[in-house]
Amino acid sequence: MSVLTPGFADPVLDAQAIFRAVLEAMSRPGRIQRAGAGLQPPAPMMPSAAAVLLTLADSGTTLWQDAGEDAAAWLRFHCGAPFADAPGEAAFVLATGAPPSVAALNAGTEEEPERGATLIVQVAALEEGAGWRLTGPGIEREHRLAVTGLPPDFVAAWARNRARFPRGVDVILCAGERLAALPRTVAIAEG
Amino acid sequence: MSPVMEGYNFAYLDEATKRMLRRAILKAVAIPGHQIPFGAREMPLPYGWGTGGIQVTAAILGPSDTLKVIDQGADDTTNAVSIRRFFTRVAGVATTERTSEATIIQTRHRIPEQALREDQVIVYQVPQPEPLSRLEPRRAETKRLHSLADYGLMHVRLYEDIARYGHIAKAYDYPVMVNGRYLMAPSPIPAFDNPKMDRMPALQLFGAGREKRIYAVPPYTEVKSLDFEDHPFRPIRAPHACALCGSRESYLDEVITDDRGGRLFVCSDTDYCSGRVALREAAE
Amino acid sequence: MYVAVKGGERAISAAHAWLDETRRGDPALPELTVAQIEQQMPLAVDRVMAEGSCHDRFLAALAIKQAKGDLIEAAFLLRAYRTTLPRFGVSDPLETDAMRIRRRISATYKDLPGGQVLGPTYDYTHRLLDFALAAEGAERAEAPQSEVPAGAVPRVTELLAREGLMQREEATDAEPGDLTREPLAFPAARPVRLQNLARGDEGFLLALGYSTQRGYGGNHPFVGEVRVGHVTVEFTPPELGFPIELGEIGITECQMVNQFKGSRTEPPQFTRGYGLTFGHGERRAMSMALVDRALRATELGEDVTAPAQDHEFVLYHSDNIEATGFVEHLKLPHYVDFQSELENLRTIRAALAREAMQEAAE
């Protein structure tokens, strides 16, 4: 078995800083935050995705991931989150490859929509100022976000996710040491 | 600054509790105005004295933050002092009384007069997060009503006011609709403050410790005070000028000065008021 | 000219210094030690442990000293401390069958296996102030000792169940909920209800239990038994797979036997109300058992007509730490909302006065 790379250098303050980045991302959809500098999670996990899970997942949350054995061992050791058998049963879903369909994930109930899953998707690149036109809560007029590496039907699936509000799935897009978020309220128009 | 207390984690809460709170806060932001139940912990301050706000602040606070705590708009009211001192002791963070210098503002019953910015977060202490509680005390039932967006009860209640008094007689904790979907209690802020919540550039977080719920309004989100077309919402303030700074725009506290009916009115937001007094003195 | 109230910080420090002074009382008298409180006020310690939700006699005694004898304040201190403790695991269920009995009484049978053991009780004492206690250092006669009943003492409810007259409680390995981690949600399962009641305010439980006796949701209770004694706490670490003894704690358990008319699916039989508390707390355990049974109304197909049967009413109002905080928060300033109400009332009164003037003029 290979030696595990470390988690946060300062578990308390690093988690706080990453949480604020994710909170900012979720509050202002499409604005890019930096997260995960210095982390070296096993491939194919990216530093930003690893940082999000270190910050939010633990023994009280279920996790599904497609990142392979090394990543599973790393997550088991650093987060302690129990692995779910299927994406639809998990509170956090990490997709390093082709992400599972948003419709297949837990969307919560009408009374308890907060039980909807958080999908963490690794993508090739994130850039502000071009691409999608995002509108909705958290956005003054319009945010632009260019995402490279999502499946072509993502925007159509997202529209269906948004239509079932308050049920729904929230997404955190990760690219290297950058992340942006799509809360279930955000409307995406292709640029 | 007093030394940081030994033997406790940064910001008092253990990391597992913070993660639980942080997950709840993120879902609250994703579902604006929806109350998220959370496992509120016993805090070393009593329930009803801001434990919800304190837990939210403890979950978001970091060493680079500057914290402002107000109660009734003032930084120097005893409970605001107590909460500020708590965070100084358990997190060693910088504190301020200046609204403009704060990155996190924890508040009870007011929104500062000065408009908040994108780089600020306001955390409200909430005694009763359920806007329908006076009309339906059962949580199982109010959850159902929220799921159906069935807010007829509240409309009837407000309409009864109009029939009886000629206007809606709710003066504080005036119910709002968030993003056109959820009815939300803005906490017992005066209705005067309600318009400040609408499309506010800052993130607004709400913590109710005793009732164990968290909710949020993301930046630039529509917050509409409930009203009727023929009886539009109108915020009330005492029709006077502040005796200290002369403001006719700010929310005023009434102060009784003697037992012969003497009274005067002063700004409830002490930072706003002292800022205006200082400006005037500098100009003179 | 009015000057905004300043100096909150100074006032708080001074007030707390004064509080310390009043706690100490007359310095000419010797200071009360925590050990004295623990030894000589054991029932206060027990109540604070129960409502503070933390079994630690020393900490409970310390909290009582710090709270100047205010037991709700003491329970609050203990709870606030408890939340900062890391959780290593969950103990195995307590085996109250194997309790080392100090006291065990049944009101349903004159004699029964294991016998009636009166133990240290205020029952049958005459409530006359004992002025001899005012004289300190008096000699105390030793209590006579008798044989401790050997072996396990079967429970009355089990004796009834063997005859088919007592509803069986199904054993389950399901993980019970935990109110200290997850907030209450409704419908609340019985383990969560019992946890809530076990931490609940004794006065509240007593009043609710009493109300069931007076006809508000009553179901004819008999004390099947009350037992007081010590049980072993064991923990099974997952990596070992066998239980390890952690120590023993004192508890009181009450099983009430209640009538049940029967339903479409079940024949008439007895049902049970259950109470359990840290330390010696018969009033608490019995009240809890009455309220537990009342809260089972819905699942037993009985009409819910009384406060003690109403889940939300009982479970949301039983916690005295929550209750005291919210009642006492009314002391905090409410100038802002009060001012809104004032302006509102003035507006309404002015409108009424205008209408009255108009009517008089017409």
Q: What strands, in cross-sheet order, belong to the sheet with B182-184?
A: B182-184, B176-178, B223-225
Partners of B263 in the β-ladder: B256
Whether residue C4 has pLDDT greater than 60: no
Beta strand residue intervals within chain B, DSSP E: 36-37, 66-71, 94-95, 104-108, 121-125, 176-178, 182-184, 203-208, 213-217, 223-225, 252-256, 263-267
Cis before A44? omega within 30: yes
- The token pair at C350 is 């002015």
Residue C36: Cβ within 10 Å count: 13
Considering the domain boundaries, does residue A113 fall inside one? yes
Catalytic one of B50, B209, B242, B275: B242
Across A154-163, C235-244, C304-313, least confident range? C235-244
Considering the domain boundaries, does residue A140 fall inside one? no
DSSP code for B46:
-
Considering the domain boundaries, does residue A49 fall inside one? yes
Residue B275: Cβ within 10 Å count: 18
pLDDT of residue C155: 85
Which residues on A lie below 8 Å from B181 (Cβ)?
A: 165-166
Query: A75 falls in which pLDDT band (50, 70, 90)?
Result: very high
**Region C118-131 average pLDDT:** 90
pLDDT of residue C260: 80
Across A109-113, A139-143, B234-238, B277-281, least confident range? B234-238
pLDDT of residue C6: 59
Query: C37-44: long-range contacts at Cβ-Cβ below 8 A with a sequence spacing of 24 or more?
Result: C37/C61, C37/C64, C37/C65, C42/C279, C42/C280, C43/C279, C43/C280, C43/C281, C44/C69, C44/C71, C44/C74
CB contact B39 to C (< 8 Å): yes
Q: Which residues are CB-neighbours of C88 under 8 A, at least 6 positions away?
A: none
Which residues on A lie below 8 Å from B179 (Cβ)?
A: 137, 185
**Region C198-215 average pLDDT:** 96
Backbone angles phi, psi at A73, to 5 degrees: -65, -40
**Region B176-184 average pLDDT:** 98
Catalytic one of B33, B52, B209, B275: B33
Whether residue B175 has pLDDT greater than 80: yes
Task: Please give the helix or strand (H or E) that residue A95 lies within, else none.
Answer: strand A92-95
- The token pair at B119 is 């780089």
Q: Which residues of chain B approach chain A closer than 8 Å at the C-beta?
A: 9-10, 15-16, 18-20, 22-32, 34, 36, 59-63, 118, 143-144, 146-148, 179, 181-182, 199, 201, 203, 217-221
Backbone angles phi, psi at A30, to 5 degrees: 95, -15
Whether residue C307 has pLDDT greater than 50: yes
Average predicted confidence (pLDDT) for chain B: 94
pLDDT of residue C231: 96
Which residues on C lie below 8 Å from B273 (Cβ)?
A: 4
Which residues on B lie below 8 Å from A140 (Cβ)?
A: 199, 201, 219-220
A29: containing domain: 11-124+152-186
Residue among B19, B26, B181 whose CB faces A23 most closely: B26
Q: Do B190 and C336 touch (CB under 8 A)?
A: yes
Q: Do C335 and B8 touch (CB under 8 A)?
A: no
Q: Do B39 and C7 touch (CB under 8 A)?
A: no
* CATH code where residue A26 lies: 3.40.50.11310
CATH numeric code, B15-132+176-224? 3.40.50.11310
**Region B38-65 average pLDDT:** 95
CA distance A76 to chain B (A): 16
Whether residue A181 contacts residue A25, with contact meaning beta carbons closer than 8 Å, is answered with yes
Number of domains composing chain A: 1
- The token pair at B217 is 């309004």
| B273 is annotated as an active-site residue | yes
Q: Which is nearest to B61 in space by CA: B114, B13, B6?
A: B13
Q: Do B31 and A113 touch (CB under 8 A)?
A: yes
Catalytic one of B50, B53, B207, B273: B273
CB contact B41 to C (< 8 Å): yes
CA distance A91 to chain B (A): 10
Whether residue C184 contacts residue C316, with contact meaning beta carbons closer than 8 Å, is answered with yes
Question: Which tens digit of pLDDT belongs to each residue from A19-40?
Answer: 999 999 999 999 999 999 999 9
Whether residue C209 contacts residue C242, with contact meaning beta carbons closer than 8 Å, is answered with no
Winning range, highest mean pLDDT, from B22-26, B48-52, C92-96, C326-330: B22-26
d(CA A49, CA C205): 50
The residue ranges of every structural domain in chain B are: 15-132+176-224, 237-284
Question: Which tens digit of pLDDT belongs to each residue from C221-240?
Answer: 999 999 999 999 999 988 88
Q: Which is nearest to B192 in space by CA: B258, B76, B279, B109?
A: B109
Q: Do B32 and A56 touch (CB under 8 A)?
A: no
Q: Determine the residue of chain C that is closest to B39 in CA distance.
A: C182
- The token pair at C37 is 């409180």
Whether residue C3 has pLDDT greater than 50: no
Q: Do B16 and A166 touch (CB under 8 A)?
A: no
| B275 is annotated as an active-site residue | no
Residue C148 or residue C290, greater confidence: C290
Query: A2 falls in which pLDDT band (50, 70, 90)?
Result: low
DSSP class per residue in B185-252: ---S-BGGGHHHHTT-SSEEEEEETTTTEEEEE-TT--EEE--BTTB-------SS--TTT--SSS-E
Whether residue B37 contacts residue B73, with contact meaning beta carbons closer than 8 Å, is answered with no
pLDDT of residue C14: 92
- The token pair at B190 is 């005066």
Whether residue C218 has pLDDT greater than 80: no
Query: C150 falls in which pLDDT band (50, 70, 90)?
Result: low
Whether residue A171 has pLDDT greater than 80: yes
Q: Is the ipTM of this complex over 0.90?
A: yes
Residue among A58, A137, A165 whose CB faces B220 most closely: A137
Considering the domain boundaries, does residue A1 fall inside one? no
Considering the domain boundaries, does residue A67 fall inside one? yes
d(CA A46, CA A7): 13
Which residues on A lie below 8 Å from B31 (Cβ)?
A: 113-114, 165-166, 184-185
Whether residue C5 has pLDDT greater than 60: no
Residue C242: Cβ within 10 Å count: 7
pLDDT of residue C2: 39
Residues 112-141 of B with CB under 8 A from C: 127, 137-140
Residues 183-222 of B with CB under 8 A from C: 188-192, 210, 212-213
